[in-house]
Amino acid sequence: MTRLWIRLIRHHRIARQLTVDCAWGSQDEALREACRALDAPAPIWLGKNENEFDRFRRTAFTADNFVESVAFDRMEVEFLDDEDKKRARPDPRNVF
């Protein structure tokens, strides 16, 4: 199962959150759907956000990423894949 987890952060706390079913590569559609459900404007994806999302499967948007004013400090978007166990690499310092 793959999902997109969207969190609206205000004063270092989660104000609202939502998970939406999403396949890798269709995060734009899932984010638009989640923004409608959260009654939040859709952010503008910059190159920085795309790079972070591709490398780490997560990114954050600040007020600068929105055309409209927002009532939160940042929006965090994270791709969750319950079946992908290969992402975690063993730390060589913990190997005996």
In tens, the pLDDT along 5-44 reads 999 999 999 999 999 998 888 888 888 999 999 999 999 9
Residue 42 lies in a domain: yes
Residue 52 lies in a domain: yes
Calculate mean pLDDT across residues 50-78.
92
Band the pLDDT of 96: cuts 50, 70, 90.
low
Residue 95 lies in a domain: no
Residue 47 lies in a domain: yes
DSSP secondary structure letters along 18-76: EEEE--TT-HHHHHHHHHHHHT-PPPPPPHHHHHHHHHHSEEEEEGGG-SS--SSSEEE
> What pTM was estimated for this model as a whole?
0.78
Q: How many domains does the structure of the chain reveal?
A: 1
Look at residue 84 and tell me whether its pLDDT is greater than 70.
no
Per the structure, the complete domain to which residue 53 belongs is given by 2-81
Lowest mean pLDDT among 9-13, 65-69, 79-83: 79-83
CB atoms within 10 A of CB 29: 13
